[in-house]
Amino acid sequence: MTIRLPFSWAALAEVRRRHGLSAMIQRVASRLATRLLCLEVVEMVWLDVADLPMSLVPDPQFECRFLTPAEVARFAQDSVNEIEPEFVRRAEVGRDRCFAILDGERLAAYGWYALRSIEPEHSYGVGMSYPDDVAYMYKGLTMPDYRGRRLHGIGMALALRELAASGVARLISTVEWTNWGSLRSCQRLGYRRLGRLWVFRCRRFCRFRAPRAAHQRGVRFGPDATVESR
In this predicted structure, the answer to whether residue 144 has a pLDDT above a threshold of 70 is: yes
CB 20 within 8 A of CB 11: no
Dist. CA 156–CA 86, nearest whole Å: 22
Poorest-pLDDT segment among 83-87, 102-106, 145-149: 145-149
In this predicted structure, the answer to whether residue 113 has a pLDDT above a threshold of 50 is: yes
Residues whose CB falls within 8 Å of the CB of residue 201, separated by 6 or more in sequence, listed in order:
38, 40, 124, 125
Give pTM, 2 decimals.
Answer: 0.87
Q: How confident is the model at residue 3 (pLDDT cuts 50, 70, 90)?
A: very low
In this predicted structure, the answer to whether residue 5 has a pLDDT above a threshold of 60 is: no
CB 219 within 8 A of CB 172: yes
Dist. CA 177–CA 57, nearest whole Å: 28
Dist. CA 42–CA 176, nearest whole Å: 4
Span 189-198, mean pLDDT? Answer: 96
pLDDT of residue 2: 43
pLDDT of residue 1: 41
In this predicted structure, the answer to whether residue 58 has a pLDDT above a threshold of 60 is: yes
- Measured in whole angstroms, the distance separating CA 217 from the mean position of its chain's CA atoms is 19
Dist. CA 170–CA 168, nearest whole Å: 6
Q: What is the DSSP letter of 55?
A: T
In this predicted structure, the answer to whether residue 24 has a pLDDT above a threshold of 90 is: no
Dist. CA 113–CA 99, nearest whole Å: 8
